[in-house]
Chain A
Amino acid sequence: MQAFTTHQGRMLPLDRANVDTDAIIPKQYLKSIRRTGFGPFLFDDWRYLDPGTLDIDPATRRVNPDFVLNEPAREGASILLARDNFGCGSSREHAVWALKDYGIRCVIAPSYADIFFSNCFKNGVLPIVLDNAALDHLFATAKASPEREAQIDLGAQIVSCDDQQFPFDIDTKRKQNLMEGLDEIGITLTQADAIRAYEERRRKEAPWLFRGARA
């Protein structure tokens, strides 16, 4: 996984609450069996005026000039500002893959849906929770001055913008995994003996749980 320590970038202000993962990446792109290549389809229904599929070249589709992502000044923005309950709905990790593939390294919102939040950490994308007052400030800055950058220091747990600093909380383990870009499966497999011991004990207590799904 790509490590995350510090990041500096321009902000993409998506001023809507309850943005669901169907909106982040619509269903037709879930037919792909890859983890990459979703960036051109991020926010597809809002971003383009023409319908799209995996086999239509996005360069041939008309873009929606009213959608924030299509404003010329937003090109290359890497910090997504969002509102409450961002990433609700479907568990599709493709939503995070699309954000990452587009170039988003960090999302800042007042709250997230649980599965989306968890999926971010598996992909080196940092979801930061800030309160509405902090978000209002960042939204105002991003809307008024698209060129203005924000700085994120994961080690210090601080978002900086306009000489203002916004501290944020993050779970210690998730922070460490992100900063070191650790392979979570590899870490868990260091517990292999504990997993086997659990299975042995559990097999005696509740043998029916180990009656396999064998057709």
Chain B
Amino acid sequence: MAGKTLYQKIWDAHTVTAYEDGSALLYIDRHLVHEVTSPQAFEGLRLAGRKPWRVDANLAVPDHNVPTQNRAAGIADPISRAQLEALDANCAEFGITKFDLLDRRQGIVHVIGPEQGATLPGMTVVCGDSHTSTHGAFGALAFGIGTSEVEHALATQTLVLWPAKTLRITVRGAVGKGVTAKDIVLAIIGRIGTAGGTGHVIEFAGEAIQALTMEGRMTVCNMSIEAGARAGLIAADDTTIDYIRGRPFAPTGDDWEQAVASWRALHSDSDAVFDQEVVLEAAEIAPQVSWGTSPEMVAPVTDQVPDPAQEPDAARRNGMQRALEYMGLQAGTPLCDIAIDKVFIGSCTNARIEDLRAAAEVIKGRKRADSVKLAMVVPGSGLVREQAESEGLDRIFTEAGFEWREPGCSMCLAMNADRLEAGERCASTSNRNFEGRQGAGGRTHLVSPAMAAAAAIAGHFVDVREFH
């Protein structure tokens, strides 16, 4: 019999009840909660007279809808304020640990979970947010759920799930200088498409993945959902264990030793069979820039905007034409000739300390181009912000004409005051370039932090490998 994949091992270890139809009741170890997708779930609990099954499995933080400046003054928008107050009241009523808006540990839910050691290898982790896939970087089975499932997880500590298929994506060799985790995952999505991973859990493997820091691995797993996969996984190794050691919610003493021993054994067996395999050569991956309105519409920075006329498939051709019209781009335009209006460095994809260091390194001693109206840096958490300030990164950003903000989701989805105006073009380190994502009529180009920083200085996209 063939060996088991990492996914199958975690699935089996969490099966409470296996049903005859192939579905299972799966135990949930960690549930992360934020203000946008939880109020209706808490209301559902109240209406049914139910309580959380295991209160201490939950950790809550406001992030989607929080202001990134003048925070001490409170939230001006009464509707946003009501949503944060609902989270406060719900967590207080049910006794759930929550980091308040003014807590130094507050931040994007997918940044603070790992940062606090609340995400551990072998866990099942859920959150009412599709980018929960981020936590798969720790070898945890982590996936986004809807609000009904948030309520189900709260009430029962389980979910009813059907097993996914498995897809292994191996990135062989080493990436070149200036090529980051973001470029790897964008290249993967460009290759397999936004539905390439639908129905699958992706396990990322290969030397280029193993060489990534935890921050880089989180960037890769974060965008699994943009490839259609509800979850991405990277097996735990020394990099993972070193990251977790000593974090507030991480195990200690004998528990730590026992945990580490179990994590080291938690990987796909060498004879495990995946439903699908994809292999990429790291050396062939260049810095990426998205040109359209879907993350699969992405190309190496050295390329040009593609020509829909060259696309044989009618549905895809229509999609490309529509995207170019929305983006205000002409086929054949070199990506490096595209001028930008705004720059956003942030989001659960790219707002960790390593991301800020990479951006700061590019801009050190330089100035934002006059044509760039706004360049903003939104750290992923209060602790990331503190760390960056202790390294002097905030001064590098502000001296270059960037705004240094307080942590939250910010202009990744533009629920708060940070947004693009119609027609504005943005170099963004976020994860979705959908129509209107960063503001109605806004035009998003997805790039790495270093590429976004370089674009802010040049006023247009540049190949960061040649930007000195």
Contact = CB atoms under 8 A, between A and B. Distances in A.
Nearest to B152: A185
Interface stretch (A72-80, A141-149, A160-168, A190-198): A190-198
Interface residues of B, number: 85
A192 to B, nearest CB: 8
A118 B315 contact: no
B415 A28 contact: yes
B23 A213 contact: no
Given A194-B16, A199-B157, 16 more contacts: A17-B315, A22-B436, A30-B64, A32-B79, A55-B79, A83-B315, A93-B146, A115-B146, A199-B54, A206-B258, A207-B258, A208-B255, A209-B120, A213-B56, A213-B116, A214-B56
Interface in B416-452: 432, 434-437, 440
B167 interface: no
A16 B123 CA distance: 38
A209 B29 contact: yes
B152 A91 contact: no
A92 B262 CA distance: 35
Interface in A36-73: 45, 51, 54-55
Given A89-B130, A111-B195, A206-B262, A45 B146 contact: no
Contacts of B122: 206, 209
Interface of B: 16-17, 19, 21, 23, 25, 27, 29-30, 36-37, 39-40, 43, 48, 50, 53-59, 64-65, 77, 79-80, 82-83, 86, 97, 99, 105, 116, 118, 120, 122-123, 128-130, 144-149, 151-152, 155-158, 160, 162, 194-195, 198-199, 225, 228, 230, 248-249, 251, 255-256, 258-259, 262, 294, 315-316, 319, 322, 413-415, 432, 434-437, 440
B333 to A, nearest CB: 23
Contacts of B256: 208
B258 A93 contact: no
Given A85-B198, A195-B53, A23 B435 contact: yes
Contacts of B251: 208, 211
A214 B97 contact: yes
A195 B158 contact: yes
A173 B20 CA distance: 10
Interface of A: 16-18, 20, 22-23, 26-28, 30-35, 45, 51, 54-55, 83-85, 88-93, 96, 111-115, 118-119, 122-123, 171-173, 183-185, 188-189, 191-192, 194-195, 198-199, 202, 206-209, 211-215
B201 to A, nearest CB: 10
B137 to A, nearest CB: 18
Contact of A91 (B16, B39, B145, B151): B145
Contacts of A31: 36, 65, 77, 79-80, 82-83, 415
B436 A23 contact: yes
- Top 4 A-B residue pairs of the complex, sorted by shortest distance between their CB atoms: A212-B56, A122-B148, A208-B251, A93-B146
Contacts, number: 205
A95 B355 CA distance: 32
Nearest to A18: B294
Contacts of B414: 27
Contacts of B16: 191, 194-195, 198
A188 B118 contact: no
A215 B55 CA distance: 13
A209 B120 CA distance: 8
Nearest to A209: B29
Nearest to A187: B160
Contacts of A85: 194-195, 198, 228
B403 to A, nearest CB: 21
Most buried by A among B16, B30, B199, B316: B16
B155 to A, nearest CB: 5
A88 B194 contact: yes
A198 B440 contact: no
B130 A27 contact: no
Given A23-B436, A83-B315, A91-B145, A185 B151 contact: yes
B57 A93 contact: no
Given A184-B152, A189-B156, A191-B16, A91 B146 contact: yes
